[in-house]
Amino acid sequence: MSIERSETPKGPYWNFWKVVLAGWLIKYPGKIFSGIFWCLLLFGMGIAYMVSPSDTQNVIENSSFSEELRNYPPTYRNTYEKNVFNFFTR
């Protein structure tokens, strides 16, 4: 039992650009997927930037950790702040 087509396709199944893109994907898969990865990463960072609160200093000052830090004696607080600053600016 065979199924016969009523008409043959007019154009080729694979057009020129499908062949070119498939060839690039076969020859350079790492570069293509890394490009896609970086585009998605930048897109995600843009979304995270838009969603994040704009006043981060206010968020840091109102956190419970900064209230605990205010209760330390000034010498300890200054030393701790210098150590944290030095840690993040290495």
Question: What is the pLDDT, as a whole number, of residue 21?
Answer: 92
Token reading at 41: 């990463």
The 10s digit of each residue's pLDDT in 19-35 is: 999 999 999 999 999 99
**CA nearest to 29, candidates 40, 21, 39:** 21
Q: What is the pLDDT of residues 50-84, one digit of tens each?
A: 887 665 555 555 556 666 666 665 555 556 666 66
Domain-wise residue ranges, the chain: 15-52, 55-90
d(Cα 64, Cα 76) in Å, to the nearest integer?
Answer: 18
Q: Tell me the whole-structure pTM to 2 decimals.
A: 0.44
